[in-house]
Chain A
Amino acid sequence: MIEAKGICKSFGDRKVLDGIDLDIGTGKIFGLLGPSGSGKTTLIKIVTGQLEFDKGSICILGKDVGALTGKDRKRIGIMMDEHGVYERLSCADNLKIFADIYGVPYSKVMPALEQVGLADSARKPAMKLSKGMRARLRLARVFMIEPEILFLDEPTSGLDPMTMRYIHKLILAQKERGCSVFLTTHNMEEAAALCDEVALLNEGRIIDRGAPSEICRKYNHKKRIVIHLKSGGDVELAHGKESALRIAELIEQGDVETIHSSEPTLETVFIELTGRKLDDSDEEVKYA
Chain B
Amino acid sequence: MRNIGVIFKKQLKDTFKNKTVLIQFLMFPVMTLIMDNLVSIPILDMPENFFVKLFSVMYIGMAPLMSVGSIIAEEKEKNTLRVLTMANVKPWEYLLGVGLYVWTLCMIGAGVMATGLPKEQIPFFMGIMAVGFLISIAAGACVGVFAQNQMAATSIVMPVMLVLSFAPMLSMFNDKIEKVSRVFFTQQLRVLMDTMTFDGIKSETLAVVGINAVIAILLFFVAFKRKGLE
Q: Say whether A125 faces chain B, with CB atoms less than 8 Å apart.
A: yes
Segment from B12-20, B30-38, B40-48 that makes contact with A: B12-20
Q: Which residues of A contact B10 (CB under 8 A)?
A: 86, 89, 97
1/0 per position for A82-112, CB-CB distance to B under 8 A?
Answer: 1111111100010001101111000000000
Query: By CB atoms of chain A within 10 A, which of B2, B18, B83 has the most?
Result: B83
Which chain B residues numbered 61 to 106 have a C-beta less than 8 Å away from chain A? Answer: 78-80, 82-84, 86-89
5 contacts between A and B (CB under 8 A): A48-B86, A86-B14, A93-B13, A101-B3, A101-B6
Q: Determine whether the beta carbon of A84 is less than 8 Å from that of B14.
A: no
B82 CB contacts on chain A under 8 angstroms: 80, 82-83
Q: Which of A30-62 contact B (CB under 8 A)?
A: 48, 50
In contact, B88 and A88 (Cβ under 8 angstroms): no
Is A78 part of the contact surface with B, judged by Cβ < 8 Å?
yes
SS of B interface (majority): helix
Chain A positions within 8 Å of B, measured between CB atoms, are 48, 50, 70, 73-74, 78, 80, 82-89, 93, 97-98, 100-103, 125, 141
Contact count band on B = 20 to 34
Overall SS of chain A's interface: loop
Give the residue of B14, B18, B80, B88 whose beta carbon is less than 8 angstroms from that of A101: B88
**Interface residues, chain B, CB within 8 Å of chain A?**
2-3, 5-6, 9-10, 13-14, 17-18, 78-80, 82-84, 86-89
New contact pairs (20) apart from A74-B88, A78-B86, A86-B14, CB-CB < 8 Å: A48-B86, A73-B86, A73-B88, A80-B82, A83-B79, A84-B78, A84-B83, A85-B78, A86-B80, A87-B78, A88-B14, A89-B17, A98-B87, A100-B5, A100-B9, A101-B2, A101-B3, A101-B89, A125-B17, A141-B83
Query: In whole angstroms, how far apart are the Cα atoms of A50 and B86 in the complex?
Result: 8
